[in-house]
Amino acid sequence: MGRVHLLRPPLGFKPLFARCLKAWFSMGVGFSLAVLAAVTMILLYEIGQILCLYYSNSQMSYVMSGYLLGFSSMISGLTISLADIGYLCISSIISVSVHELGHALAAASEGIQMEYIAVFLASLFPGALVAFNHELLLALSKVSALRIYCAGVWHNAALCAVCAWALFVEPLILSPFYIHDEGPMVLDVSPTSPLSGYLSPGDVIISLDGIRINNLQEWSQMIAILTEHYENSQNHSLPGNSMKTSVGKGYCVPYSLIEESKHISLKGNETSCPDELSPFITIQCLDQAMPDDDNLEVNHQRDGGELHCLYATDILNLEKCGDGWGRIRNNRSSCLCSKDKACFVPLLSTGVAWVEIAYSNPPLQCSQLGTMRVVDDDNSRENPCVKTFVFVGDVNSMKPSVLLTSYQPRWSAKFGAHLPYVLEKFLMFTFNVSLALALLNSLPVYFLDGEAISEVIIHYLRFLSSRRRRTILQYFLLGGTVASILIIFVQVFLVLL
């Protein structure tokens, strides 16, 4: 070890600033002790579940134990991309640096210089440590030592607070250059995405099934709602057939168009339309009489019979009917069709959804025309800035295959369109990694901050002998280490399963 000097007064710190630092790190002591108690209880809870002592359906333990392992719900699993690895490495460097800086500042405020800084890689991720003279640390009071040991966890928590604050004020800071919460904008579409033939970078999502989408969160929530909606609609399948209706999502089709349509018949479990046509079937309305026309074969087929093949593009701009849409008009029939029209709903395979997606391109010109937001009015059909297409398939496949952001640049150039997304992604990764690092170092595990903090805490058990305190500390650390390793294996197994 190198020669270390005890500085009096603290080098580089004025007395007032030194007192402020001590007050700051004293707050960190209380926070770190609370976190240590919390993670210890979580370890006991997880071990109890693993040993089948009791059972719980709560997902909180899974999330918290994931953080204890250095994971988070955002970066765990096998779907992490190459860009996410870059975000993860950069956020790890920042989080580790802030952690070690906290230890160094706390030690300097107590008059102790660091001996050296070590940088290393742990599972391909960067790590660091700051070494101090152990004898000088032992010479300090227990409260002073706690301030140094708890400073890393405390600074990681402060970094989390800074990231959360930055995410909160980001829309305000970027408001002179970007529009926020006026529709998610497409940044990239995967070539294998089912939306690649319709959406392109720069397009702005306006609505799903007529429901306005303002930001990325609403996009995710709407996809989850539609997924649950279609999963619950499996009982709408036609008897003896694998096809099902689109759960009340109908269109008022004129009888003149139906007369020109092609006719098909249900044969066994197969229903198909030629070319790009889609099968449709009528909804039977109790409060709407069907016209008496012997030449028009349109009826609700419950036992398998004649259907109609229509072009989806021909009916998208027609008036909607049925109770499956987000826009429900009061004091109207459930069919919402006039007497010269019939309410037709698509016939889909099981597990397939029918979703109308409205989007605008280019968003800047549409916003200047003042017509970008016109999606709920009948005039939206004639709006050149609003385009609509139907997605037929698995709703969940839309979310991971398209990259969206809640920000739209106020200029037409594509330069800088990714900046809010990159900044938001970086802040989210830094928040999660810093939180994981704080919780990880709070664990009562060998070679982590939790070991030194636990040693100081057990020292205050003055009613026990020194030997008993050392024994309790060893059992406490050994149990925490074994429990953490066991939970790691269980979590990795669940991720890989």
Query: Which residues form the catalytic set?
Result: 100
Nearest C-alpha neighbor of 275 from the set 309, 241, 304, 314:
309
CB neighbours (10 Å) of residue 69?
19
Contacts of 196 (CB under 8 A, 6+ apart): 189, 190, 401
Tell me the C-alpha distance between 420 and 185, whole Å.
Answer: 11
Q: Quick check: helix, strand or coil at residue 295?
A: coil
CA angle 242/244/246 to nearest 5° reads: 155
With both helix axes pointing from N to C terminus, report the angle between 419-442 and 82-109 in degrees, rounded to the nearest 10: 50
DSSP SS3 for 43: helix
Q: Is 435 exposed, middle or buried (0-12, 13-18, 19+ CB in 10 A)?
A: buried
CA distance 265 to 238: 13
Distance CA 304, CA 294 (A): 20
CA distances from 19 to 25, 110, 158, 193, 395 (A): 10, 10, 19, 58, 58
- The C-alpha angle with vertex 486 and arms to 483 and 489, in degrees rounded to 5, equals 150
First to last CA, the chain: 47
d(Cα 200, Cα 389) in Å, to the nearest integer?
Answer: 13
Strand partners, 306: 265
Tell me which amino acid residue 353 is: A
386: which 2 tokens?
């609003």
> CB neighbours of 126 closer than 8 A, spacing ≥ 6?
89, 92, 93, 96, 119, 120
β 204-208/353-360 pair status: antiparallel
* CA–CA dist 149, 448 (Å, integer): 10
